[in-house]
A and B are shown apart, each in its own frame.
Chain A
Amino acid sequence: SQKIEQNSEALNIQEGKTATLTCNYTNYSPAYLQWYRQDPGRGPVFLLLIRENEKEKRKERLKVTFDTTLKQSLFHITASQPADSATYLCALGDTGGFKTIFGAGTRLFVKA
């Protein structure tokens, strides 16, 4: 079955360091991959979308890479801040957009 794996263990890093989160997937050929931020008790907030023919995308302090051979995406937050503490979700979508699947997310804690 189609599956997304994100590290279930929380990631703890020091302020100013780069946080790197991993999203691996199986049994899926996505047309695009998305990353979302979710704060406790709130809905996810869309951050970035990267398409299957793109290797890397950047937005301010965020960088996403997408390797369809490894079936993996890496999500980087540079110069991390305590305000970046949240759960980050990975989602995969197909060409028609009929079937988007979400990962369970990785919790990030940034310590001051």
Chain B
Amino acid sequence: EADIYQTPRYLVIGTGKKITLECSQTMGHDKMYWYQQDPGMELHLIHYSYGVNSTEKGDLSSESTVSRIRTEHFPLTLESARPSHTSQYLCASRAHSNYGYTFGSGTRLTVV
């Protein structure tokens, strides 16, 4: 019973295309995050937000941008997709900084 939703679940796209990965949560959490994860590897923070109109870059900004216009919505945009962007993208939220994260099911992106 996920309270955080990511779309699409899978996406195959050509090099150079612009894409937006959607993330919405219904829990009213102020803190939201985007992580990137390759198979068998650690999660790496791409972007995070501590509330509306607040966005920060993480360790791996990966030429992407985010916006936080509404509390529940935190989309990630790749302006020009490259094969190196092929990965799983995970959106997460939490109520407070020392609470556990609630993750979405992820978007598996393949750039050909």
* A and B interact physically: yes
Q: Give A contacts to B, CB under 8 Å.
A: 4, 8, 31-32, 34, 36, 41-47, 49, 51, 89, 93, 95-98, 100-105
Residue among B31, B100, B102, B108 with max Cβ neighbours from chain A (10 Å): B100
Instruction: Determine chain B's interface SS by DSSP, over half rule.
Output: loop
With a cutoff of 8 Å between Cβ atoms, the chain B residues found around residue A98 in the complex are 97
With a cutoff of 8 Å between Cβ atoms, the chain A residues found around residue B104 in the complex are 43
| B105 and A42 contacting across the interface, CB-CB below 8 Å | yes
Q: Known contacts A102-B43, A104-B42; decide if A43 and B98 are in contact (CB<8 Å).
A: no
| B106 and A46 contacting across the interface, CB-CB below 8 Å | no
Interchain nearest-CB distance for B100 vs A (Å): 3
Q: Give B contacts to A, CB under 8 Å.
A: 31, 35, 40-43, 45, 88, 90, 92, 96-106, 108
With a cutoff of 8 Å between Cβ atoms, the chain B residues found around residue A93 in the complex are 97-98
A45–B4 CA distance with the chains assembled, in angstroms: 12
| B100 and A34 contacting across the interface, CB-CB below 8 Å | yes
Return the chain A residue nearest B104 by Cβ: A43
Interchain nearest-CB distance for A108 vs B (Å): 14
Q: Known contacts A41-B106, A41-B108; decide if A46 and B43 are in contact (CB<8 Å).
A: no
A27–B102 CA distance with the chains assembled, in angstroms: 26
A8–B105 CA distance with the chains assembled, in angstroms: 23
A-B contact list, 8 entries, CB within 8 Å: A34-B100, A34-B101, A41-B106, A44-B43, A93-B97, A98-B97, A103-B42, A104-B42
A51–B99 CA distance with the chains assembled, in angstroms: 10
Return the chain B residue nearest A89 by Cβ: B43
With a cutoff of 8 Å between Cβ atoms, the chain B residues found around residue A45 in the complex are 103
Q: Known contacts A4-B42, A104-B41; decide if A97 and B106 are in contact (CB<8 Å).
A: no
Cβ-defined partner of A46 (8 Å) among B31, B40, B88, B101 = B101
A101–B41 CA distance with the chains assembled, in angstroms: 12
| B103 and A49 contacting across the interface, CB-CB below 8 Å | no
A102–B97 CA distance with the chains assembled, in angstroms: 15
Q: Known contacts A41-B108, A43-B92; decide if A101 and B102 are in contact (CB<8 Å).
A: no
| B98 and A31 contacting across the interface, CB-CB below 8 Å | yes
| B103 and A44 contacting across the interface, CB-CB below 8 Å | yes
